[in-house]
């Protein structure tokens, strides 16, 4: 860990960005209200994770996309000071523009070369109505876009999962499927805690030799539990920063069982 003059330990910035669908379809069946509730409930858990990982300065903000995209919370806000402002839903699903907006902020500057890999969490219930591929290319053209931990959460059964899979960039990890408010809370909490904990761990903050473009990031190997309790994760292998730093796929749960977070046919289906 870097030390400032005088010996004070220097934390490294870790940018956590929500990329939230606020299109008109999110108004149906209370999806947007459930998303607002889920993120609001996750914030205290994020603060606890940040307190336990002093090597990282966790900075949170959010992009919303509908007709175009804009910063919903524009300033990188220390998680200790972060509060969620509710989204409303209307319009189209311009997901590509949202990724372009994020890509602009992952350039250097404003990003620092001593930052930790950012965490990007994309949440959507539909299909892009603009040029998603162009937006994804803009994101992946940035070194910090490639190095980012990229998680996707699908709401309901009308989502273009192929698009979300492209965003994740890891064929072994599927988008987390939320077909009920409870499942959405569970997945949001996991993305906000287990993934954040791994990305902000001391191993993730290890110094990289000059002239290299890699940084080892511990990867969560446990997906959200079927209950809504506190999210936990163990860390397994690492991935180089030049590749997609995404969480490993869910393990230890038979596909299609009641505990499978990606099971699309659970008894609590609402969406």
pLDDT tens for residues 145-164?
A: 999 999 999 999 999 999 99
Q: Which CATH superfamily is domain 12-206+213-239 in?
A: von Willebrand factor, type A domain (3.40.50.410)
Residue 235 has pLDDT above 50, yes or no: no
Residues 35/87, Cβ–Cβ less than 8 Å = yes
> What pLDDT, in 10s, does the model give residues 57-80?
999 999 999 999 999 999 999 999
Question: In sequence order, what are the residues at sequence separation of 6 or more whose Cβ sits closer than 8 angstroms to the Cβ of residue 214?
Answer: 208, 240, 241, 242
**What mean pLDDT do residues 194-199 have?**
89
What's the DSSP call for residue 236? E
- Distance in Å from the first CA to the final CA of the chain: 45
Residue reference for tokens 């931990």: 149
Please report the pLDDT score of residue 21 as a whole number: 98
| Confidence (pLDDT) at 154 | 97
Higher pLDDT residue, 239 or 156? 156
Whether residue 267 is predicted with pLDDT greater than 80 in this model: the reply is: no
Residue whose entry in the numeric block shows the structure tokens 């539990």? 225
pLDDT in tens, 21-48: 999 999 999 999 999 999 999 999 999 9
Confidence class for position 188, pLDDT limits 50, 70, 90? very high
The three-point CA angle 152-157-162 to 5° equals 50
CA 94, CA 164: separation in Å to the nearest integer? 14
Say what the pTM is: 0.80
DSSP 132-153: HHHHHHHHHTSHHHHHSEEEEE
**Minimum mean pLDDT among 96-110, 168-182, 198-212, 249-263: which range?**
249-263
Average pLDDT, whole number, for the chain? Answer: 80
- CA–CA separation, 258 and 90 (whole Å): 33
Per-residue pLDDT for 210 more than 50?
Answer: no
Sequence ranges of the domains in the chain:
12-206+213-239
**Residue 126 CB: number of other CB atoms within 10 A?**
20
């Amino acid at each position: 860990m870097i030390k400032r003059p005088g010996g004070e330990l220097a934390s490294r910035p870790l940018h956590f960005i929500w990329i939230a669908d606020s299109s008109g379809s999110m108004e149906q069946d209370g999806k947007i209200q459930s998303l607002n509730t889920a993120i609001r409930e996750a914030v205290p858990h994020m603060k606890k994770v940040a307190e336990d990982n002093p090597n990282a300065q966790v900075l949170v903000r959010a992009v919303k996309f509908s007709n175009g995209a804009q910063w919903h919370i524009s300033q990188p806000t220390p998680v200790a000071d972060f509060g969620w402002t509710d989204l409303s839903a209307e319009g189209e699903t311009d997901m590509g523009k949202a990724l372009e907006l994020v890509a602009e902020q992952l350039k250097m500057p404003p990003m620092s070369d001593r930052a930790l890999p950012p965490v990007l969490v994309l949440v959507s219930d539909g299909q892009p109505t603009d040029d998603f591929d162009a937006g994804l290319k803009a994101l992946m053209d940035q070194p910090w876009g490639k190095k980012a931990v990229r998680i996707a959460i699908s709401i309901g059964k009308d989502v273009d999962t192929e698009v979300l899979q492209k965003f994740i960039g890891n064929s072994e990890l599927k988008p987390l499927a939320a077909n009920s408010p409870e499942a959405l809370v569970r997945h949001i909490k996991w993305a906000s805690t287990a993934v954040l904990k791994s990305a902000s761990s001391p191993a993730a903050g290890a110094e990289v030799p000059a002239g290299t473009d890699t940084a080892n990031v511990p990867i969560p190997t446990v997906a959200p539990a079927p209950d809504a309790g506190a999210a936990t994760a163990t860390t397994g292998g690492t991935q180089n920063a030049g590749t997609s730093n995404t969480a490993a796929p869910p393990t230890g749960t038979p596909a299609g069982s009641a505990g499978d977070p990606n099971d699309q046919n659970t008894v609590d289906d609402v969406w």
